[in-house]
Amino acid sequence: MSTQPSKELETFPNPSVKRDYQIHMEIPEFTCVCPKTGQPDFANLILDYIPDKKCVELKSLKLYIWSYREQGAFHEAVTNQILEDLVAVMKPRYIRLTARFFVRGGIFTNVTVEHRKPGWKPKSMVLLHQYDEQSNFKR
């Protein structure tokens, strides 16, 4: 596999296709360039997805993210493009991408986009009691 920036995302088979489970990733070194000023934009990307038949391979994701370093893009456009590219290669049951851009001109920008596979419905969350030192259990 290359160590140069690349728009190619690779996948591998989901090892637990029968189960819904969440994969959480944080990508703190995303950079692109403001298309108006040419100044660099920095963001922390938060990716959560429930795979269907495929998972994204991490090194290819890293090189894909790196490919935006010199690319001019508005925050909204680049966040949506990344999500679209991930959906195209993985076809996940569910995916959410939040791009938390650092301050520029006194403004923080957060862009959140998501996709659900048609017909997929999340299962109910199971809430478990959590231990609390003072009352033994938190409800």
Listing DSSP states for 32-92 in one string gives: EE-TTT--EEEEEEEEEEE-SSEEE-HHHHHHHHHTTTT-B--HHHHHHHHHHHHHHHH--
Angle at 47 between CA 24 and CA 67, to 5 degrees: 125
* 3-state secondary structure at position 108: strand
Known catalytic residues are 34, 41
